[in-house]
Amino acid sequence: MLNRLLLIVVFVPLAIVLVALAVANRELVALTLDPFHPGNPALTLELPLFVFLFLALVVGVLIGGAATWFKQGRFRKLARQREQEVRSLRDAAVRAAPPRAALPRPAA
């Protein structure tokens, strides 16, 4: 139910906006990677503007995700250490506990 609501409320309007952006910006633009010789065809890309916009969006999301992942690395390491400590303490508690006597079954 939540997935369907998320699809309808977020992704459908987002798709409509992206399609409108692509239709409105379909004219070819040149991206030159050589600032000293802008006419160099080997280092010039001519694509519709929306392609460059979407590529910039994807690159931004990837860089932001990578930065967040690296920033949270210490918390993942701490969680792994604490989980290992919990396992070792649980194993020690199981070894130290006396064996349980079988409990009588309740009469039905």
- The tokens for 68 are 């967040």
Decide if 106 is inside a domain: no
Q: What is the mean predicted confidence (pLDDT) over 69-95?
A: 95
pLDDT confidence bin for 107, thresholds 50/70/90: confident
Report the pLDDT value the prediction gives residue 102, as an integer from 0 to 100: 60
pLDDT confidence bin for 41, thresholds 50/70/90: confident
Report the pLDDT value the prediction gives residue 22, as an integer from 0 to 100: 86
Evaluate whether 24 touches 48 at the Cβ level (below 8 Å).
Answer: no
Decide if 101 is inside a domain: no
Decide if 108 is inside a domain: no
Q: What are the two backbone dihedrals, phi and then psi, of residue 47, each rounded to the nearest 5 degrees?
A: -140, 165
Kindly state the helix (H) or strand (E) to which residue 71 belongs, with its residue range: helix 49-71
Decide if 10 is inside a domain: yes
Residue 59: C-alpha distances to residues 49, 64, 84 (Å): 15, 8, 36
Domain that holds residue 13: 2-51+67-92
Report the pLDDT value the prediction gives residue 108, as an integer from 0 to 100: 63
Count of domains observed in the chain: 1
Report the pLDDT value the prediction gives residue 101, as an integer from 0 to 100: 64
Global pTM reads 0.65
Decide if 97 is inside a domain: no
pLDDT confidence bin for 103, thresholds 50/70/90: low
